[in-house]
C-alpha cells in the first residue's frame, strides 16, 4: 500500500509527528513524507494522511490552499486521515478545529475519511510535543492503515518465473 503523509508545520511539532507516523508505517507500507509545499496531486495513493498545526484559532492556510488547488475527483474514494497539533481546548473557546475543516473539505472532494480527525496535544505551557503523544500518533496511524487495508481482498502477487503449487 502506498501512503502519503502530507503536513504543514510552523514550529516543527507537526513535522516531528508526521516523521514518526511515516516511520511507523514504513515498516509495512511504502510511505512518502511531504511538506505541503512539495506535495502535488496524489496519484496512485492508497491512504492519504494530512497533518496540520492549530495555532491560536488560525486556519491551516497551506493545507487548505493545497486541497482547493487539487483537480476535481483526484481524492475521490481515497482513504484519508487527518491529525492536528494543538494546546488543550479551553472551555471558553467554541470554534471549529483546523483538522475538522480539512476533514470536511476532503469529504466534499469525495475522499473517504477512515476515522474522525484526531488532536495531539502540546505540553502545558511548553512548545514541545510529549513523547507519549508521538507514540499515540504512531499507534493512530497504524490503526488507520489497518482499517484502510481491511476493506480490500489482498490478492497474491505472482512474478514471472514463480512456481504455483496446488
- Alpha-carbon gap, residue 50 to 99, rounded angstroms: 9
Q: What share of the chain is helix, strand, coil (3-state, %, to 5)?
A: 35, 20, 45
**For residue 163, is it within any domain?**
no
**For residue 165, is it within any domain?**
no
Give the pLDDT confidence of 8-40 residue by residue, as tens digits.
998 899 999 999 999 999 999 999 999 999 999
- Alpha-carbon gap, residue 121 to 132, rounded angstroms: 10
Cβ atoms < 10 Å from Cβ of 2: 14
**For residue 81, is it within any domain?**
yes
What is the CATH classification number for the domain harbouring 120? 3.40.50.360
What are 128's three cell numbers? 514541545
Question: For the chain, how many structural domains are there in total?
Answer: 1
Residue 99 phi, psi dihedral angles, 5° rounding: -65, -35
Report which of 33, 107, 55, 52 is spatially closest to residue 76, judged by C-alpha positions. 107
Instruction: Output 137 or 61, whichever has higher pLDDT.
Output: 137
- Alpha-carbon gap, residue 44 to 81, rounded angstroms: 16
**For residue 144, is it within any domain?**
yes
**For residue 160, is it within any domain?**
no
**For residue 158, is it within any domain?**
no
Query: So what's the pLDDT on residue 22?
Result: 96
**For residue 37, is it within any domain?**
yes
Give the pLDDT confidence of 102-126 residue by residue, as tens digits.
998 899 999 998 888 999 988 766 6
Say which residue the cell 474514494 belongs to. Answer: 77
Residue 103 is part of which domain span? 2-150
Amino acid at each position: 500500500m502506498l501512503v502519503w503523509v502530507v503536513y504543514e508545520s510552523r514550529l516543527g511539532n507537526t513535522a516531528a509527528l508526521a516523521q514518526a507516523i511515516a516511520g511507523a508505517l514504513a515498516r509495512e507500507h511504502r510511505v512518502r513524507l511531504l511538506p505541503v509545499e512539495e506535495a502535488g496531486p496524489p496519484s496512485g495513493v492508497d491512504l492519504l494522511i494530512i497533518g496540520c498545526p492549530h495555532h491560536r484559532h488560525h486556519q491551516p492556510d497551506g493545507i487548505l490552499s493545497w486541497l482547493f488547488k487539487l483537480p476535481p475527483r483526484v481524492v475521490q474514494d481515497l482513504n484519508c486521515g487527518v491529525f492536528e497539533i494543538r494546546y488543550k481546548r479551553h472551555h471558553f473557546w467554541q470554534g471549529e478545529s483546523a483538522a475538522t475543516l480539512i476533514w470536511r473539505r476532503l469529504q466534499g472532494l469525495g475522499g473517504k475519511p477512515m476515522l474522525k480527525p484526531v488532536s495531539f496535544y502540546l505540553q502545558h505551557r511548553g512548545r514541545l510535543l510529549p513523547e507519549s503523544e508521538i507514540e499515540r500518533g504512531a499507534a493512530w496511524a497504524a490503526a488507520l492503515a489497518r482499517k484502510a487495508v481491511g476493506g480490500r481482498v489482498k490478492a497474491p502477487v505472482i512474478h514471472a518465473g514463480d512456481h504455483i503449487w496446488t
